[in-house]
Copies of this chain bind each other. A is one copy, B any other.
Amino acid sequence: MPASRFISDKFFPERNKRERRKEARPGELLEAALDLFVDKGFAATRAEEVAARAGVSKGTLFLYFPSKEELFKAVVTENLSGRFTEWNAEFEAFEGSTSDMLRYCMRIWWERVGSTKASGLTKLMLSEGRNFPELAEFYRQEVVRPGHALLRRIIRRGIDSGEFAPVDVDHAIYAVIAPMIFLMLWKHSAMICVDGESEIDPEKYLAIQAETVLHGLAMPPKAGP
């Protein structure tokens, strides 16, 4: 990069606006799309609105993403599926009891997904999956399946180490997932809350649920869900 670049940057700070924008566009569009998809759902989000929020015209959106469906897939990849490699590695490297691992898992999930806009994507797929089979299939492959696989490995680790009872692994997965899904809905649906009812403290809620699940998974007596 020549020095002249910096010079012109100084005197004509707008000079590379277009150039910079070009690289930033997909990201800006993905963020706008995430916001709107989460807010209004897939079908109810108009392509033009996404473009407008990203500060571009209708046409520009289709310059980067060939269709609304592909835009959605890109949003999912960007915000959810792209992270599984990182998480898998993290849990591969985890040292400590599987109970701690599960507690950590649920806490970290809330931190990195549940509490963010990304969790709205899951709510969206729960709602509209049936109307957009291709998106549903994509989401299942890219998010649900890896997620379940990760949890399954954790549960199995606990069983193999003798820490957990030899429960039905799939049932255990649902027991872990259920409170997470509830939290997402609670976060993304004004529906559940009424009037001036007091708020949920998600971290605390999850912590309690974690203990409940672990109680059900505990070795000695009888096994849970």
Tell me the count of chain A residues lying within 8 A, CB to CB, of chain B. Answer: 48
Q: Which residues of B contact A185 (CB under 8 A)?
A: 126, 181, 185
In the bound assembly, the distance between CA atoms of A144 and B192 in angstroms comes to 7
The residue that A41 contacts in the complex, of B39, B131, B195, B224, with Cβ under 8 A, is: B131
Known A-B contacts A144-B191, A192-B126, A225-B204; A131 and B44 likewise in contact (beta carbons under 8 Å): yes
Q: Which residues of B contact A39 (CB under 8 A)?
A: 130
Q: Which residues of B contact A179 (CB under 8 A)?
A: 178, 182
A-side interface mostly: helix
**Contact between B191 and A136 (Cβ–Cβ < 8 Å)?**
yes
- Closest-CB distance, A51 to chain B (whole angstroms): 16
Known A-B contacts A145-B195, A173-B197, A178-B182; A190 and B129 likewise in contact (beta carbons under 8 Å): yes
**Contact between B190 and A40 (Cβ–Cβ < 8 Å)?**
no
Per the 8 Å Cβ criterion, residues 172-197 of A in contact with B are 173-174, 177-179, 181-182, 185-186, 189-192, 194-195, 197
A positions within 8 Å CB-CB of B: 39-41, 43-44, 123-131, 136, 139-140, 144-145, 148, 168, 170-171, 173-174, 177-179, 181-182, 185-186, 189-192, 194-195, 197-198, 200, 204-205, 208, 212, 216, 224-225
